[in-house]
Structure 1
């Protein structure tokens, strides 16, 4: 009996450790994505300031405009890649949480999924949540907006400078 209890505790500890590790990887991907978008924003702001410093866009600013397109493209690719990485780790963690629920929350206590669903339902019923979701849509897509705007701005400036 003790061996079975010890085995179950070991399984629970391993699953919980994997769950927390994968969630940490997801948070790490979120941090990298946020940093990349921040860097794109800072660098593109500096490039736009250089382009617009004289009040007009001239042909000799074409290389800087092309650099802005490159920064926007790289930023968009980086944000998309780290969004995918975050999603992969989030789905892995949700699967591990489901396994934990299935194996260790069978005694009538609410499962982890039930607790989270109740919490999410209360949160999503709020006016602020509905307003922000209408405004921004998914937060995953929102992270792609800034690099996309930089890319579009760069392309526009290339055409103006050319």
Structure 2
């Protein structure tokens, strides 16, 4: 009977750990997709901007290209927003699963997964690099939204200049 119980507990732990690992992988995948999309947005937008300003002027005939730059920025904002939400959802699921692992298998222990991560985070957040980069840029998620926002603004400025 006790052996059956320990097998059941081991299966539960393995299942929780497997789901935790899977959710973390989904979270990383969303981050990778978001990063790749922003890179493609910059490549396409920079090629369009190079064509638009290649002669040193922004002409009315280039207005469709200017609109494309703005639309690429708008699409990028939507894409980054959606994938930020997807990342956050999977990240929060992973935190809940980790807390469940802590409560079931580390209850009463001095070292839980959450405590170890919180300790590492607090040491990292105390560094001057972390504080200055957060003060300058804010969170990484806002930074990712800023990049396609700049493409959108560039497209709108070019449209204004082409009028």
In the TM superposition, structure 1's runs of 4+ consecutive aligned residues that sit over 3 Å from their partners are: none
Give the Cα–Cα distance (whole angstroms) in 2 for the partners of residues 108 and 148 of structure 1: 46
TM-fit CA distance, 1:107? 4.5
- Give a deviation string over 1:111-153, Cα, whole Å, max 9, x none: 1000011111111111111011111100011001110000011
Matched residue of 2:87: which SS? helix
Matched residue of 1:94: which SS? helix
Give the Cα–Cα distance (whole angstroms) in 1 for the partners of residues 35 and 108 of structure 2: 41
Q: Which residue of 2 aligns with 1:72?
A: 73
Q: Which residue of 1 aligns with 2:59?
A: 58
Matched residue of 1:15: which SS? helix
TM-fit CA distance, 1:156? 1.1
Gaps of 5+ in 1: none
Matched residue of 2:98: which SS? helix
The TM-score, its normalising length taken from structure 1, stands at 0.98
TM-fit CA distance, 1:159? 1.4
The TM-score, its normalising length taken from structure 2, stands at 0.97
Q: Work out whether 1:48 is the aligned partner of 2:40.
A: no
Matched residue of 1:106: which SS? coil
TM-fit CA distance, 1:95? 0.3
* Number of aligned positions between the proteins: 162
